[in-house]
């Protein structure tokens, strides 16, 4: 019987954790709590790293910070860089515009151990919170651990220096260290428990996760003392109960509503119990005859590689095969994940971790080589992504329409008499044009926001107050008021102003429709806009309000708020027009486009679904006889709302239109404003 000296409980915990995460990602409906496997990893990491550091201090009375960090680099960096590189090459090979759009940001963040910070920022950044899922997103948990590896040894080094400063015996170091751990752990847990868990950014907060690693660290210092107080039989029962909790938490729904904090307490405590109740590491012997345990330990050894590889396979596979994954596809992918993990462990992890080569063992060589490899990966991705973006723009955005200053000839033989027929973007829905589902006009050619100028400076990503478009020096001026859906049309407003000699004063604030009854920040913005409108500065106002597609049943009080807003405008002599919001396509259609970006004709949503959420801003205006503009028949035919019209991608996510499609709507907006008598033109 062969044996190998390992800590069986740690390896099995690792295997259980990575299985929970992987299976939870592959079948989230069946294992909704599978994400708790990450929390198991956090406790294990806190325990092992603290054990290693304290052991070094006990042996040598000192802590070699550089040596510790170099060991972490050898352990983590080779496999991580390999996965990031493969993902970057694969994304560029697939050519998905959505993935290429976000690739550079996530390669930089994952390479620099800050993916959690990027995701936290994106969760509250209106420009990115609806981005497609990145195949590098799972690096967030690795980033949390790496941030722990950076900070925690420094805390221990400071504590060691403190004990020496007070001339305390080395035996007291453990007590001081344990006290520091307890203080930080309690502070982190209190912080995590008081966070607003409805804010997705809190999920990635490193300090909100620190208490989980702190539990492992505390066990490293006091675990054996605690275990000695209980009988062997009691410890065995505790371990059995802990394993029931660890496995059971994977199937508990709704935990994500209490994470970080109380939602993961059972998994964290149970993991701690398993570690505390085990015998010392050196006393475990692994019987080769135990197939089940051997298999779990085998997976535990490769858990790091398995975690790294599983997410890219899951996210990129649908883009490669062009369909949503079935059970059969997922089973095949699991086999590929475990095969890739075995190869990665054998040929990447182990050689770098165990090598005695000078270039790997000496920090003076390893550090600059690691930095150079990371820089090459980042710069290579930046240049490759830039080339791919430029290569995907088959036609200049400027050729979509005639120049903004060119006259629009009178065409009385169709619904929009002032629009010269064209077959790109919105024009393809109006005029007799050949069908085109291929994306010819890349949405990335035109920026989402107006360029910086004397007046157009973003205050907060999506907040533009009095951004003057069109002809800033014109005597005639109008106001465009609304949220991010109004901003999506900024090129149309700019073209309109340049064509007619109008200063278009734009008031955009993400998530803030112009109506009464809004929360404080929106209310302050709306009040400031009202002051400008009521002062008679503008010839008329255009109101563009978004419908929140995530709320299937909007609050009916919004009707009252919009009605009151319109009455106030009317009472103050403000002429205005309300533009009906574009349809929402939903997450499924957005993901369908990502899988079928070369021919997304099969991804169209039904007209009924696209307009399933009431647009109270438009409905109230129409019912009360105010001026309105409705482009529903451009976005959708009688049955369907396509995702591509005339070679132009209509939506950049599940609810916002692309800037370039907004440009193609410009002539129709112009036509409607003339028809309503708000603009007089000789063209």
| DSSP-assigned letters across all residues of 169-221 | -THHHHHHHHHHHHHHHHHHHHHHHHS-TTSGGGGG-HHHHHHHHHHHHHHHH
- Contact (CB, 8 A) for 417 and 671: yes
Backbone angles phi, psi at 586, to 5 degrees: 85, 160
Q: Please tell me the predicted confidence (pLDDT) of residue 4.
A: 42
Average pLDDT of 346-366? 85
Q: Does residue 519 surpass a pLDDT of 80?
A: no
Q: How confident is the model at residue 414 (pLDDT cuts 50, 70, 90)?
A: low
Q: In this structure, what DSSP letter does residue 25 have?
A: H
Secondary structure element (H or E) that encloses residue 628, with its range: strand 627-629
Name the burial class of residue 544, with classes exposed (0-12), middle (13-18) and buried (19+) by CB atoms within 10 angstroms of its CB: buried
Q: Does residue 141 surpass a pLDDT of 90?
A: yes
Q: Please tell me the predicted confidence (pLDDT) of residue 389.
A: 67
Q: Which of 349, 401, 386, 439 is nearest to 652 (CA)?
A: 439
Average pLDDT of 404-421? 61
Three-class SS of residue 652?
A: coil
Q: Does residue 271 surpass a pLDDT of 80?
A: yes
Distance of CA 239 to CAs 227, 236, 242, 545, 650, Å? 12, 5, 5, 57, 56
pLDDT digits (tens, 9 = 90+) for 16-51: 999 999 999 999 999 999 999 999 999 999 999 999
Average pLDDT of 2-21? 81
Helices 206-227, 171-194: axis angle to 10 degrees equals: 140
Q: Does residue 408 surpass a pLDDT of 50?
A: no
Average pLDDT of 534-561? 81
Q: Please tell me the predicted confidence (pLDDT) of residue 587.
A: 87
Average pLDDT of 534-557? 79
Q: Does residue 224 surpass a pLDDT of 90?
A: no
The dihedral formed by the CA atoms of 87, 88, 91 and 93, expressed in degrees to the nearest 10: -110
219-233, 343-357, 559-573: segment of lowest average pLDDT: 219-233
Q: Which domains does the chain have, with CATH numbers?
A: 8-389 (no CATH), 397-675 (3.40.50.1110)
What percentage of residues in the chain have a pLDDT greater than 70? 89
Helices 327-344, 65-94: axis angle to 10 degrees equals: 140
Count, residues in the chain: 683
Residue matched to tokens 């599940």: 654
Q: Does residue 402 surpass a pLDDT of 90?
A: no
217-221, 225-229, 535-539: segment of lowest average pLDDT: 225-229
Q: Does residue 289 surpass a pLDDT of 50?
A: no
Which segment, 81-90, 463-472, 545-554, is predicted with the most confidence on average?
81-90
CB atoms inside a 10 Å sphere around CB 617: 28
Three-class SS of residue 136?
A: coil
pLDDT digits (tens, 9 = 90+) for 54-81: 888 888 888 899 999 999 999 999 999 9
- Contact (CB, 8 A) for 411 and 420: yes
Q: What angle do CA 408, 414, 416 make, to 5 degrees?
A: 50
Q: Please tell me the predicted confidence (pLDDT) of residue 554.
A: 57
Q: How confident is the model at residue 9 (pLDDT cuts 50, 70, 90)?
A: confident
Distance of CA 246 to CAs 10, 17, 29, 141, Å? 13, 9, 18, 19
Q: Which of 248, 236, 241, 308 is nearest to 277 (CA)?
A: 236
State the Cα–Cα distance between residues 543 and 549, nearest whole angstrom. 19
Q: Please tell me the predicted confidence (pLDDT) of residue 358.
A: 75
Residues whose CB falls within 8 Å of the CB of residue 367, separated by 6 or more in sequence, listed in order: 70, 73
Tokens of 17: 């954790």
Q: Does residue 280 surpass a pLDDT of 50?
A: no
Q: Please tell me the predicted confidence (pLDDT) of residue 2.
A: 36
Three-class SS of residue 629?
A: strand
Q: Please tell me the predicted confidence (pLDDT) of residue 390.
A: 61
Cα atoms found within 13 Å of the Cα of residue 435, Cβ hemisphere only: 6
């Amino acid at each position: 019987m062969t044996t190998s000296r390992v800590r069986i409980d740690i390896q099995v915990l690792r295997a259980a954790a990575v299985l929970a995460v992987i299976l939870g990602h592959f079948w989230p409906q069946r294992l909704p709590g599978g994400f708790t496997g990450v929390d198991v990893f956090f406790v294990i990491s806190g325990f092992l790293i603290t054990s290693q550091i304290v052991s070094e201090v006990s042996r040598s009375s000192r802590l070699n910070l550089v040596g510790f960090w170099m060991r972490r680099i050898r352990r983590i960096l080779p496999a991580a860089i390999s996965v990031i590189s493969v993902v970057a090459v694969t994304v560029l090979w697939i050519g998905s515009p959505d993935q290429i759009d976000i690739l550079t940001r996530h390669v930089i963040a994952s390479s620099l151990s800050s993916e959690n910070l990027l995701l936290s920022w994106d969760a509250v950044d209106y420009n990115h919170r609806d981005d497609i899922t990145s195949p590098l997103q799972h690096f967030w948990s690795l980033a949390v651990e790496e941030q722990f590896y950076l900070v925690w040894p420094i805390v221990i080094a400071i504590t060691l220096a403190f004990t020496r400063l007070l001339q305390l015996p080395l035996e007291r170091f453990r007590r001081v260290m344990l006290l520091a751990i307890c203080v930080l752990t309690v502070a982190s847990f209190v912080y995590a428990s008081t966070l607003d868990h409805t804010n997705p950014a809190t999920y990635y907060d490193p300090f909100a996760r620190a208490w989980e690693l702190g539990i492992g660290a505390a066990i490293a210092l006091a675990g054996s003392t605690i275990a000695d107080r209980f009988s062997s039989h009691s410890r065995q029962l505790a371990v059995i109960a802990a394993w029931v909790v660890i496995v059971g938490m994977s199937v508990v729904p709704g935990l994500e509503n209490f994470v970080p904090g109380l939602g993961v307490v059972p998994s964290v405590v149970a993991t701690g119990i398993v570690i505390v109740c085990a015998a010392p590491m050196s006393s475990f012997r692994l019987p080769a005859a135990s197939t089940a345990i051997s298999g779990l330990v085998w997976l535990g050894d490769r858990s790091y590689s398995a975690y790294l590889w599983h997410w890219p396979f899951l996210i990129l596979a649908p883009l490669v095969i062009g369909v949503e994954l079935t059970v059969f596809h997922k089973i095949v992918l699991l086999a590929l994940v475990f095969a890739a993990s075995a190869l990665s462990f054998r040929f990447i992890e182990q050689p770098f971790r165990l090598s005695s080569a000078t270039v790997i063992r000496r920090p003076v060589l390893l550090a600059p080589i690691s930095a150079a490899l990371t820089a090459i990966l980042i710069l290579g991705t930046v240049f490759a992504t830039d080339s791919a973006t430029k290569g995907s723009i088959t036609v200049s955005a400027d050729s979509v329409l005639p120049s903004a200053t060119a006259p629009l000839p009178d065409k009385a033989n169709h619904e929009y008499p002032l629009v010269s027929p064209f077959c790109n973007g919105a024009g393809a829905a109006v005029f007799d044009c050949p069908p085109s589902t291929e994306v010819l006009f890349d949405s990335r050619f035109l920026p989402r926001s107006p360029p910086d100028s004397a007046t157009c400076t973003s205050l907060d990503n999506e907040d533009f107050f009095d951004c003057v478009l069109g002809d800033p020096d014109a005597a005639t001026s109008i106001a465009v008021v609304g949220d991010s859906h109004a901003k999506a049309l900024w090129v149309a407003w700019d073209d309109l102003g340049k064509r007619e000699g109008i200063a278009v004063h734009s008031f955009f604030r993400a998530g803030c429709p112009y109506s009464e009854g809004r929360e404080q920040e929106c209310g302050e913005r709306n009040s400031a806009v009202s002051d400008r409108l009521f002062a008679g500065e503008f010839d008329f106002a255009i109101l563009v309000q978004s419908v929140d597609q995530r709320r299937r049943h909007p609050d009916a009080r919004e009707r009252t708020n919009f009605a009151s807003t319109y009455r106030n405008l009317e009472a103050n002599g403000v002429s205005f027009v309300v533009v009906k919001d574009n349809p929402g396509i939903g997450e499924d259609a957005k993901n369908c486009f990502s899988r079928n970006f070369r021919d997304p004709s099969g991804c169209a949503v039904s007209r009924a679904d696209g307009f399933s959420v009431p647009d109270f801003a438009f409905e109230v205006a129409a019912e009360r006889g105010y001026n309105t503009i409705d482009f529903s028949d451009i976005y959708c035919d009688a049955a369907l709302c396509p995702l591509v019209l005339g070679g132009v991608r209509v939506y950049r996510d599940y609810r916002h239109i692309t800037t370039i499609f907004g440009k193609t709507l410009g002539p129709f907006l112009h036509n409607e404003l003339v028809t309503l008598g708000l603009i007089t033109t000789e063209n």
